[in-house]
């Protein structure tokens, strides 16, 4: 196995782990599909006047639709994985009484 194959395998494994942790709720899925559909539709109507912005809008809208259909979000999985609030412990509580 070469260095490129090893690197690609590592990236693939990290994406799979992040997707497993990044499941999204049903309401969030519906909103993603609706927002993505609106973005794609709006981009298609403006493709002649603003081609660069329309292509960007179609890509982002398609990503939102895919996110909603699959029910997994790579970014949400990565953020949950690096959530430092879970590691905070309270050492001492002090109460002041007058």
pLDDT at position 58 is 95
Higher pLDDT, 48 or 92: 48
Mean pLDDT in residue range 38-42? 96
Q: Which residues contact 19 (CB under 8 A, 6 or more apart)?
A: 72, 73, 74, 77
Least confident of 8-17, 18-27, 56-65, 80-89: 80-89
> What is the rounded average pLDDT for all residues in the chain?
79
> pTM for the whole thing?
0.58
At residue 55 the predicted structure's pLDDT band, cuts being 50, 70 and 90, is very high
Only one residue has tokens 């609106």, namely: 38
Name the residue ranges covered by the structural domains of the chain.
3-87
């Amino acid at each position: 196995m070469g260095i490129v194959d090893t690197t690609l395998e590592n990236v693939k494994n990290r994406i799979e782990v992040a997707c497993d942790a990044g499941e999204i709720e049903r309401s969030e899925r519906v909103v993603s599909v609706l927002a993505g559909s609106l973005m794609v539709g709006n981009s298609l109507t403006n493709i002649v006047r603003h081609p660069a912005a329309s292509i960007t809008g179609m890509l982002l809208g398609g990503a939102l639709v895919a996110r909603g259909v699959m029910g997994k979000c790579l970014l949400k999985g990565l953020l949950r994985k690096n959530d430092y609030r879970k590691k905070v412990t309270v050492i001492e509580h002090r109460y002041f009484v007058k």
